[in-house]
Structure 1
């Protein structure tokens, strides 16, 4: 029986777009602010990225997902998780709430839940929406590749304007030699320096990829420890607990108690509300984007301004 999707849902990793926009627009030392002194550079850049993705992938439905504070079930499991992250720049902090206000005025739901990361909300919603629709996840985070399936594509934002890499299961296997599930197992073995969990000490990406190619999964490797070189076997045996913990930390949850229906996330630009918000934030140079959006669909071609 063929699959007839009820539209295309685009799940936006709001944190990824916001951070990317902040650093892209503050690189030269200039921070865009309102006349009252409110920093707005990250929100301004976020909107350019947002509308470019909408123009490129033409969703019928839109959701934006966010982290809701530092503490999550992962920090409870491992207190070193992301403990290496530096504090957000002072000019970015007020823009966390501001960007959600702007997204809401566009007519797009903001989804986030304390105790979980945006990734987990995206994982849950992608599983839910893919039952009826095709799903595109827009992010810069390669961890999201574990969510790829026949109805879920992960769109990785690359350097430069309008530059995306779209992954489905075939592309993931062709480029990285991995299935979606193996993306999680890979992190179990090699850890993640960005998120600050170690994996198995002494095992890097090359060895981890060979183990997964030869034995398929963490379980397959453990069942075949006797067949491994002595050095690799010793490293895994010494760090078995951390292997399992690292894999657990890497796995994006798909059962978070968040709910959003297709009706709630139908993409219909709230033009007047958005225009008022743009005017309030002195985004006059972006108002033409709203005027260019057709009434029936929020699809618009934009010109990148100060973003590179």
Structure 2
């Protein structure tokens, strides 16, 4: 199926955090004359423009978390409870980032109760029926969304370095399908999101079990074929295994929508220049948009 639309869904949270910490390590917060730190937003824009230059999308949408509580916290109150509060220099940059994205006429999308991941999952499913979708993120969890018209572009160190994944090559590389990524995380848990999966089962064992039995259901149906230790661990943590799968799966039915008309990528140069100058971004022509 050929398609002319190339839609880039941007994980705003991932870009902002990555850019902030890259310079915060050396206490370089770029505080302007109004006392506003801008290092995260500046770096995020550099990531954004570099990716736009590389992938040449026709449409761009930026997705955000809206508050720290989501439906996953209702399922499991300790979800992400291990995360510390963001540094005080980052806090004002959340709203500032959205403001700057808006000045580029790029829609900001997010909905209370869902993560940015869920918004990207929902929109990618809707658009991929008729368009090529690129998901720009730093989060490996997004690999579960791979489909024939959906690519995942993972940011690597520095600017302009990406690991691009396609559904067609994913299986050869990982040995499992994108859909099996959910069951993989359910088995091994996710320390960064603070849910345990099955205690004592790591990535290596989880991959082996999924290659043999395909799904969690397949593993449970053949539980007598497992080693005594594996069987004991799974039976002991069975409830957590099922709960972890609910936490790991990106919800592709979040209450979000964005018309492609609104997402058409076209920058009003004056509006952008006014915003960047107002924030006292230095050398932005060269450093951010590369012109």
Query: TM-score per shorter chain, which class?
Result: over 0.9
Residues 122-143 of structure 1: CA deviation (Å, up to 9, x unaligned): 0000001101100000000000
| TM-score, L = length of structure 2 | 0.97
Hey, which bits of structure 1, 4+ residues long, moved more than 2 A?
287-290
Residues 271-299 of structure 1: CA deviation (Å, up to 9, x unaligned): 11111111110014114578xxxxxxxxx
SS at match of 2:9: strand
Superposition pairs of residues 86-105 of structure 1, within 5 angstroms: 86-105=84-103
Unaligned 5+ residue runs, structure 2?
none
Aligned position for 1:64: 62
2:228 paired with 1:230: yes
Work out whether residues 148 and 168 of structure 2, in 8 Å CA contact, stay in contact via their aligned partners in 1. Answer: no
Measured in 2, the distance between the counterparts of 1:211 and 1:240 equals 15
Structure 1 residue 31 displacement after superposition: 1.3
| TM-score, L = length of structure 1 | 0.92
Specify which of 96, 111, 127 is matched with residue 113 of structure 1. Answer: 111
Structure 1 residue 175 displacement after superposition: 2.2
Work out whether residues 152 and 164 of structure 2, in 8 Å CA contact, stay in contact via their aligned partners in 1. Answer: yes
Measured in 2, the distance between the counterparts of 1:129 and 1:170 equals 19
2:165 paired with 1:167: yes
Structure 1 residue 160 displacement after superposition: 2.1
How many residues align? The count is: 291
Q: Structure 1 residues 46-55 or 22-31, which shifts more? A: 22-31
Specify which of 70, 75, 78 is matched with residue 77 of structure 1. Answer: 75
Work out whether residues 278 and 287 of structure 1, in 8 Å CA contact, stay in contact via their aligned partners in 2. Answer: no
Residues 228-269 of structure 1: CA deviation (Å, up to 9, x unaligned): 111101111111110010011000011111111211100011
Measured in 2, the distance between the counterparts of 1:110 and 1:226 equals 50
Residues 140-197 of structure 1: CA deviation (Å, up to 9, x unaligned): 0000000001100000001122110100113322222121111100000000000000
Measured in 1, the distance between the counterparts of 2:97 and 2:117 equals 18
Q: Structure 1 residues 136-145 or 232-241, which shifts more? A: 232-241
Specify which of 44, 47, 52 is matched with residue 54 of structure 1. Answer: 52
RMSD across aligned positions (CA): 1.3
Measured in 2, the distance between the counterparts of 1:253 and 1:128 equals 13
Unaligned 5+ residue runs, structure 1?
291-299, 304-308
